[in-house]
Each structure stands twice: as structure tokens, then as C-alpha cells.
Structure 1
């Protein structure tokens, strides 16, 4: 049986399955955050491009039922401009990554994400109805951060949580946003040849594990209190801030 997974030792597969299950539960519950859990671990034991391509494929396939349900519930007037902003400005983030000092960029990301988290914890709320330009701007910031380091979630999470919308709407917005914004990433990964045989070996194990985890997380969300959703979102943003801090590289890389 393990010949199917010939690119990976059995003990590594079991370890990755455990990490992926936790990540999938979070994704099913919150609508985001799985990459923040899976990527730092997976990138430490395989090529980052292999880890990223495998996760993109897994999440794109398995999370599709979440997307279909969220399409009916999300707030399209704020989601679409944010998606457009992210798709356009992810290329600027990639350009910065290629041309700017990486250490400066990473400390800047840490400062931005931490600032957004502190703003949210302070109780600040965006009371007005979000306009299309504001939604576009938030998506653009998310795109730049995603192009630099794949940490695109915090700006849109803070934006929609601060709007005081109910967690079900926030979750639906995030699910649709990440699904649509990832289309450009799929194309870029195909053009760059990231979907290798090693990626597909990993998918054989990962797809059923991730599917079961997303189902469990979704069931948990349907039975949870709104306050629990907000606390988990805060924790995931904090995780993104901590794992992006250059000073902690010896622990995460």
C-alpha cells in the first residue's frame, strides 16, 4: 500500500495526516486558517513549492461543498471588490518579494498583522456599510500580503469581523473570497510546474483526511456559539503574526 506514497516515509505521512486533520477542522469551523497551520509545518519537511501546491489542490477540491453553500449566504457587494483587489495586487506583492529586502518585508508583515489584531481586540467596529472602494482596498492589502508570504487572511478577517456581521455571514464571505482569489494561484502554479508527482502522491492520503476534518469542523460550527467563532478567529490571526516573526525562525523553520 505504501508504494502509492513512495515519495514519503510512512511515519512522515502519519505526522502530516495529523497536522492536516487539525487544519481541516479549523477550516471547516472558521472558513479560513488551515494554511496557517499546515504550511509552516509542511514546508519544514518538504519543498515549500510542493507543500503549497499540495495544499492548494487539496483545499480547492475538498472545500468545494463549503463554497457552494457559502455562495448563497455571502455578502457579494463586499466580497467581489475584495477578490478583484486581491487578484490584482498579489502580483505587486510578488514583485516586492523578488526585489525588496525580505527581512524588512517580514517585519512589516508582522507589524501589520499584529496591529490589525490589536485593533480588533480593542473592540473597534466599522459601523458604516462597506463601500466598494473600501472593500477593494482591503482586498488589495490582502493580495499584497499574500504575494509576499501567503498570509492574506488577516486584513479581510478583521474587515468583516469589525463590521459586526453575524459569524455565519463572515464565514461565508471568507470561504467565497479565498475560493475565488485562489483561481489565479492555481494558474500560476500550473505554469510554474509545481504540480509534480510528489504532490499527487501526497493527495492520496490527504484528500480523505482533509475531507473528514472539514466535515467535523462544519458540524462544530453549526452547534457553536457566536463568541467562540470570534475567539478562534483572533487566535488564528495571532498565529499568523507569530509564525511570520523573523525572530522566531529557529522554532518554525
Structure 2
């Protein structure tokens, strides 16, 4: 028999569904710790399947807050203003716009859009080096606008702005710092935007806080795996798992 408790005024039932959510978030954390990105690609479609798309995108953004805070402060001194500020200016406009759309779109179409976007992002990741070669300075603004819009609508934007940053050809430490700072900006703007349009509820906050330890533990495990197994390419396995999750969510939304 399932047991439960009340947290932040929300009844929490400890059952197979909740355990599955913790496992998914943990696996997403491993991917994030190993590859440096991509937790939303797994968390959002999986949680959309369980809780619905609106709650899924809010939970994903909230659970990323500790990870973002832990990385941003160390990255600020290495970040390049010329790379970060133009894209941030686009985020300020388009993240709230995407959040507004997310609050207005019916759950089923939004779930379909999330699943398709995840599959598209997998293609972007696979072709990241080739795509980076086609991004011009003007394209950086367009990438920032698109990343902001997708962040607000689906909480998935990393591959888009990461590709634009890599196109600049900066040293790896500076490129990573730029990506980390932009990711932090996206999370902060998304939290404000979701609150402004009424998507953040006590229930989503409660579920997110309960999921945070699983993500943090996964990030720690993923970082250790990278240090020990960096020659063994874990990324294709995780990307395959992401694709299966997105396809399952898409199939569920279409039935």
C-alpha cells in the first residue's frame, strides 16, 4: 500500500509513479554531470507524460536553480560580454513571450510540441559542429530569440544557444563560461516569467524541491563517471534514452 505525507500544503503519495520520477531526474542528472548539458531533454518529456506539460517545464526550471547557482558564480570571471549580452537581451524579450504561450496552449498540443522539439534538439546536438559553421553575428541574435522562446514554452533551449556560442570559436574555458552564464540567465528569467503568467503553484514547487536531491546526486555521479570513463562514450546511450522518452510522450499525446 502506498504511503504519503503533506509538503507545502501538497499531498505527496510515495508510490511507483513518484519513484519513477526520482529515477528519471537522477538519470537526467547523470547526463548533465557527464555531458555538461541536456537534463531538460529527458526531464521535460518524461514529466509531461506524468504531470502534464505545464507542470513539467516549471519543475524542470526550479530543480535547475541549485545547479545554475553553483556554476554561474565561478563562470562570471571567464565569460565574454560580447557573446553573452546580445543573447541575454533576446532572452529578456522572448522567454516571457514563450511562457505566455505555454500558459495559453492546451496541454495536448504543448505535449506534442515538447516531444517534437526534443527530437529536433537531438539532431542539433548530433550536427552541432556543422551547424555552428553557418551561424553569423546576426544569427546569434536569431538563436537567442529562438532559445528564449523555446525556454519559455518548453524549458528546452540548451543546444540552440550552445551551438551559437561554439560558433564564435572561443577557447573552451571561455565558451563553457559563456554557456553557463546564459543558462543561468535563462533559468532566472524563466522562473520570473512562469510566476508572472501563473504557472508556478505550491504543488509544482513541492514536487521540484523533492526532486532536487535526485538531480544533484545524478550530477555528482555523472561528473565522477566523466572523470573515470571519459574514453567510453556515454552520450549516445543517454541520447538514445532521451529519444525513446520523447517518442513515448509523443505517442501518448497523439492517442
Question: Under TM normalisation by the shorter chain, which class is it?
Answer: 0.7 to 0.9
TM-score, with length taken from structure 1: 0.72
1:8–1:162 Cα change, 3 Å: farther
Aligned residues of 1:116 and 1:155 also touching (Cα < 8 A): yes
Contiguous gaps of at least 5 residues in structure 2: none
Aligned residues of 2:98 and 2:150 also touching (Cα < 8 A): yes
Work out the CA distance in 2 between the residues paired with 1:113 and 1:241.
Answer: 14
Aligned residues of 1:25 and 1:217 also touching (Cα < 8 A): yes
The yes-or-no answer on 1:214 pairing with 2:215 is no
Aligned residues of 2:29 and 2:39 also touching (Cα < 8 A): yes
1:34–1:223 Cα change, 3 Å: same
Question: Following TM superposition, by how much is the alpha carbon of 1:96 offset from its aligned partner in structure 2, in angstroms?
Answer: 6.9
Partner of 1:179: 184
1:126 pairs, out of 122, 133, 138, with 133
Q: CA RMSD of the aligned region, Å?
A: 4.1
Give SS of 2:5's match. helix
1:19 pairs, out of 24, 45, 53, with 24
1:232–1:160 Cα change, 3 Å: farther
Question: Following TM superposition, by how much is the alpha carbon of 1:168 offset from its aligned partner in structure 2, in angstroms?
Answer: 4.4
TM-score, with length taken from structure 2: 0.72
1:59–1:110 Cα change, 3 Å: closer
Work out the CA distance in 2 between the residues paired with 1:155 and 1:183.
Answer: 18
Contiguous gaps of at least 5 residues in structure 1: none
Work out the CA distance in 2 between the residues paired with 1:204 and 1:11.
Answer: 18
Report the more deviating stretch, 5-14 or 215-224.
215-224
Question: Following TM superposition, by how much is the alpha carbon of 1:197 offset from its aligned partner in structure 2, in angstroms?
Answer: 3.0
